[in-house]
Structure 1
């Protein structure tokens, strides 16, 4: 019985791989089909799996550092405009600068956990990589992103006040804005953010030029910022900066935020993008 099931699964997988190989653009203007985007996503994911651990760690560390430029601009905009427009309006304005770090990371091809969540899950769904290898690579990327975020947060805490860009009150308010929610709310919010980031990766595969990619990144990430959805890597910089500088941000509060934000981001990207997009393609294939 088990052998029969295994044979049927192998047959089905062969049909899926064959259909993916045949996938191509459907229109004269070069618009990519669902299958073509899925094939590119799986291929890109497999390329990441094949990189050395040291390369992955360094690239993810770089992403953690670069995403800190979003935090620098968030603090600068909030500190400047809150004097005239009030805190609520000023925080909404940070959505205009929030995408800058993401543009640097994604176009610079550093490895960001939330952008890679869906991408790295697809080869597992396609049975080209194991769950254990997925968890291992997630662990490396998360570690690099978090360490990089801590390093850039420490630097910005030192340079920001000395350049008169922001003060520690601003740092505390931004950290409290990210953590002042229940664990369930942080998880649910992060799940939506992970969903958007997974969708961002999918949309970038369908775009053909740099300008359109920048527009897509801006739309998705500014939406996250304006609505206050929790992003574990930017949030790591925000909350770690608060942990270092404010007695109101305890280590327990930082850890609670980080765990639920990471878990939510992972679920959003892996389930609502990778799994659903993959299954939408697979369910349309007849086993031959």
Structure 2
């Protein structure tokens, strides 16, 4: 088999084709047999596509599967009547509905006891995500089955002896006990999940269909039960026979809770335990690594796995091969999300000064474009990316002036603020430095999903610059000892070396009697953070904001750390009532470091940042880590409308026009998305390869193509 080159934007399933043993996920000429690891890789690839589907897609796919099951029930009843209840001939067409489902790619609940469960076992999807997937698919199956039963009952599809045969077939489950139904259904669940495994292990369609037919034929021959078929049978009895809702031996209540429920539990346990777990443990520890599934290095934590978004993430994208390769060997990298290349130069300049303190410093400029809700990303992203690359030329020149490496990317997304966090989690920078203001990015944040879901577990340090005219010559750093003021100290220390900044430390105490203690604390804190040469000011007035405003009169930049409740979420919700941000005439840099709060704190309360005492000094209150009290505020409602048009490249507005043209192309695409469903994937374009120098020579010693531009879609 010829080994052909693959584009950088290979789909999830195509990535499996690059596995160590060459197991493909899509139809190709392959060897006769896959190893268990390769089968598992194909299942994971398919599951990753399914679990990220929207609720509408899953539901209607499940509904189609429910309607297909109606075909199985119809043929079962018809053949039973026409063959005079022959035990074998009557079930000969039973598998047809299931074959429809397999070929059509519909979502059947019992088939989902394998792929999404495998993803969950790998801690790439959380239990809440699995339950969401199951619930939507099962609801669709039941609605489809109910509609089919209604048509069979009132549409005149069954006539004469066929009606009697259908009633006979449907009533059989009422005569079987709860536990017998459970174990019969468990065996059926084993069969269905086994079909899924064998289907992924098959190398041709003929053998796959043969396995499907024989396996599903075993269900009626073995007098086993499938939950969607059973539900359809109960609803048929309810519509056709008029069985009571409750109070009889054969009623809708007994049908649902004494017939369908044990079958549902049995199918689930049989599929998950008897097939998925058994097959999972026969695979090797390298079952995913060899397929280059980069997501395995970023698995969910145990709390995230159990609680999903309540504890942080609920899903880890598997295919991050581009980002992982792109940034694997980089050193100190600062990611700079921007919205307007014409005006965001000061942000890039500050990031460049910080990165220049490291020999391997790199600034990654990410132009984040908020796309209109109705715009098709695939239709207009290319034109936007081209205009964006041209617009970032000046920013690249600013960064290169500091003798550091620079890379640029463009992200076009319907959820631009959320994409900043996604990008940070994928590329793992040392810090994110972004501007703060009433622009598209922050307006979009107020319209996206609750900001706490993004910010309760920051992927890295965040620095937010509110600049007027950036000048780092004289820095004021208020502190009372928390981790966020420590982050501010790192920035101040770097700027003192790279920009020759003069640093002044400020500590506020309550009254003159506490001055000596405050001076001792500030001296020790300065030494601890490499700022022994900084000027130190202790204010005994007790008013933090007034002290900052007073000292800031002689400063050009004030660095302020977060409090226990976080700066990012407060900036988005407009609930950061810190007057000093508006009372000072200089630039302000807000710093927030990832929290070490416990899971309980993140679920049931704001919690506190962990803060150890500085050696040789008293421990200061970590709640006032910035030297400013941010706690007494009122929550503001997050609901601002996304600004859909903002010129950001040059005076001609080429990029904006491209965005509007793309939006016009997709005018009829009015699909709405619920907040808890995955949005349309962002389109990410890398305009250069920041590690191309390392790859400039290929394995044969020849020069590689260093001018390659990769475009990827997440």
Normalization by structure 1: what TM-score? 0.84
Q: How far does residue 283 in structure 1 lie from its aligned partner after superposition?
A: 6.7
Distance 1:63 1:175, change over 3 A: same
Q: Equivalent residue for 2:217? A: 222
Would you say the 8 A contact 1:114–1:198 is kept in 2? yes
Tell me which of 208, 230, 233 is aligned to 1:213.
208
Could you give the per-residue CA deviations for residues 99-125 of structure 1, whole angstroms, max 9, x where no partner exists?
000001111111001112111100000
Aligned pair 1:281/2:283, yes or no? yes
Aligned pair 1:237/2:238, yes or no? no
**RMSD of aligned alpha carbons:** 2.4
Would you say the 8 A contact 1:160–1:166 is kept in 2? no
Distance in structure 2 (CA, Å) of the matches to 1:40 and 1:94: 36
Would you say the 8 A contact 1:59–1:111 is kept in 2? yes
Aligned pair 1:102/2:98, yes or no? yes
Aligned pair 1:36/2:35, yes or no? no
Aligned pair 1:251/2:246, yes or no? no
Could you give the per-residue CA deviations for residues 49-101 of structure 1, whole angstroms, max 9, x where no partner exists?
0100110001001100111111111111111122xxxx4xx243232111000
Would you say the 8 A contact 1:98–1:221 is kept in 2? yes
Q: How far does residue 30 in structure 1 lie from its aligned partner after superposition?
A: 3.6
Q: How far does residue 136 in structure 1 lie from its aligned partner after superposition?
A: 1.0
Unaligned ranges ≥5, structure 2? 1-17, 24-29, 244-248, 288-714
Distance in structure 2 (CA, Å) of the matches to 1:189 and 1:270: 15
Would you say the 8 A contact 2:153–2:236 is kept in 1? yes
Would you say the 8 A contact 1:243–1:249 is kept in 2? no
- More strand per residue: 2
- DSSP-derived class of the 1:67 partner: helix
Q: Equivalent residue for 2:82? A: 80
Q: How far does residue 228 in structure 1 lie from its aligned partner after superposition?
A: 1.0
Would you say the 8 A contact 2:186–2:269 is kept in 1? yes
Tell me which of 176, 181, 188 is aligned to 1:186.
181
Normalization by structure 2: what TM-score? 0.35
Q: Which has the higher contact order (CA 8 A, sep 6+)?
A: 1
Q: How far does residue 200 in structure 1 lie from its aligned partner after superposition?
A: 0.2
Aligned pair 1:195/2:190, yes or no? yes
Query: Segments of 4+ in structure 1 off by > 3 A?
Result: 20-25, 159-165, 282-285
- More helix per residue: 1
Aligned pair 1:152/2:148, yes or no? yes
Q: How far does residue 239 in structure 1 lie from its aligned partner after superposition?
A: 2.1
Q: How far does residue 244 in structure 1 lie from its aligned partner after superposition?
A: 2.2
Distance in structure 2 (CA, Å) of the matches to 1:151 and 1:196: 26
Aligned pair 1:126/2:128, yes or no? no
Distance 1:195 1:165, change over 3 A: same
Would you say the 8 A contact 2:234–2:252 is kept in 1? no
Q: How far does residue 243 in structure 1 lie from its aligned partner after superposition?
A: 2.5
Q: Equivalent residue for 1:4? A: none
- DSSP-derived class of the 1:208 partner: coil
Distance in structure 2 (CA, Å) of the matches to 1:210 and 1:72: 26
Distance 1:135 1:174, change over 3 A: same
Q: Equivalent residue for 1:15? A: none
Tell me which of 146, 156, 176 is aligned to 2:171.
176
Q: How far does residue 170 in structure 1 lie from its aligned partner after superposition?
A: 2.0
Bigger Cα Rg: 2
Distance in structure 1 (CA, Å) of the matches to 2:175 and 2:208: 33
